[in-house]
Amino acid sequence: MSAGEHASRAGHVHDVVVIGGGVVGVTLARALSRYHLDVVLLERDEEVGFGVSKANSGIIHSGIHADPNTVKGALEWPGNVAWMTLRDELGFGLAQVGELLVALSEDELVSIERLHAQGQAKGVPGLERWDQQRVRRHQPNLSREVIAALWAPTAAVINPYEAVMLIAESAAHNGVEVATAEPVVAIDPPDPDGPIVLHTPARTLAAHYVVNAAGLYADEVAGMAGVGTFSITGRKGEEYLLDKRLAGLVTSIIFPCPTATSKGTLVTPTFDGTIMVGPTAEATDDKRDTATTPEGAKEVFAAARRLVPGIDERDVIAEFAGVRAVADTDDFVLGPTARRGFINAAGIQSPGLTAAPAIADHLVEVLREEGLQLTERDEFEPRVEYPVRFAVLPMEEQAALAERDPRFARLACRCELVTEAELVDAVDRGARTLDGIKFRTRAGMGRCQGAFCTWRCITLLADRRGVPIPRITKRGGDSWIVCDRDDADAAPPRPPVPATSPPAPAAVEVAGSPGAGS
């Protein structure tokens, strides 16, 4: 069957299909929704942002780090600036806390000088060289071995999963079809007179243009399209989240001087008041390897204590790992390919989160140059309603909400003070999994890591979505949580979780979910 016949079977030719619902894919989809276009975004996981985008340090880099002679270096600072506009439009958590790049020896002063000059060449404002006394006044809990630092006030911390989900929601409100749990499994050979035809397990789609933003799998998708000119390898990074009692231990992002393969182990104050340490940088052939390890923890905490001696692994409340998509070019792979209409947005490693809005703008221009007609829509709406965050509201506003809706008076998560009303809103806005609720509301992210609220979230998800409890998963796929022994199609029986977990009804078995961390 020819591409034209496949397109006929699909019934419609879309203007653009974006493959991949990570930060680059959703930001591009939203950018395209400003125009009179028919756009579809396809994501293989159960929800957007569940791949590389959810498991990173959540840092918007200051703009000094990447070599300006690379693609990623050219887009780093414009991306930083663009995030501030996105934050103003969508309201997700972002705080401009600044960063300190610290030197622990005379030899490391060379790195500070190089990055200072690099930042100045890019036009990054506010850069300052600090001596030991200035560093200690600003961050008194840093190691006394710190002899100097470079201060960059433009760095910020962000909740990357919250941002991705709100950006995708904005794209959908503006007409983009956001299709999750729909991986691309095949792409038809080129037809010089026809569109690009893609296949998912659910359907066949045809498009004039396809943007490959498939993250760790971008090389495989490019191979399906017959333009597999690069390869992606994984680089795993383990991160450790510390208890909120350490809030204020550092108030800016603390960077060591970088190595050839990594920016090193950072100490980061998160937007929500916890401290995060990591990541490691370990090559891996398994793109789904998100397990943390004793070796990784030892490496992270040894390095973190060199920067901040008061850090202790006994304060860990959660641990997780993410796998970065590293192209063999060691740079972003952006632009058109030998196949007409097929465009890559691959190899988006650090500073990929920072650069994402600038990558989206760059890709819009690439599509324009490739022939896509772009006519702006007068009705584009840049804002979406930001969810209520009950925990941060003044008491008077909390009381008024509870008076108006009794679900605001019912606490679902004690650690993070998340109400039942917030869980309902998260499901109504698209949460399909336990992690989908967690990333939208923070339920399960506190000290007890869901021991109190997990069962409440599961039952509410099942009730609100109208599905049996055993169909609720942690993050989609086979990450099942509960097994009904009488339901042969649910999942095989597994050992129950420890008795500290929320009780389940007698006819239901509660099982541990695979993987490590949150």
Active site residues: 61
Closest of 218, 156, 148, 208 to residue 183, by C-alpha: 218
Distance of CA 211 to the CA centre of its chain: 19
Beta bridge partners, 413, equal 418
**Tokens linked to 339:** 């196949």
Dihedral in degrees, nearest 10, Cα atoms 83, 84, 90, 96: 100
Q: What is the DSSP letter of 104?
A: S
Q: How far apart are the first and last CA of the chain?
A: 45
Q: Give dist(CA 41, CA 29) in Å, integer.
A: 7
Q: Give dist(CA 366, CA 371) in Å, integer.
A: 9
DSSP, residue by residue, 457-498: HHHHHHHHHT--GGG-BSSSTT-B-EEETT-TTT----PBPP
CB atoms within 10 A of CB 259: 10
DSSP, residue by residue, 143-183: -TT--EEEEETT-EEE-HHHHHHHHHHHHHHTT-EEE-S--
Q: Give dist(CA 72, CA 382) in Å, integer.
A: 26
Q: What is the DSSP letter of 35?
A: B
Closest of 68, 111, 95 to residue 255, by C-alpha: 111
Contact 152, 126 (CB under 8 A): yes
Tokens 């600038």 correspond to 358
Q: Give dist(CA 91, CA 323) in Å, integer.
A: 27
**Tokens linked to 441:** 């509301």
Distance of CA 79 to the CA centre of its chain: 15
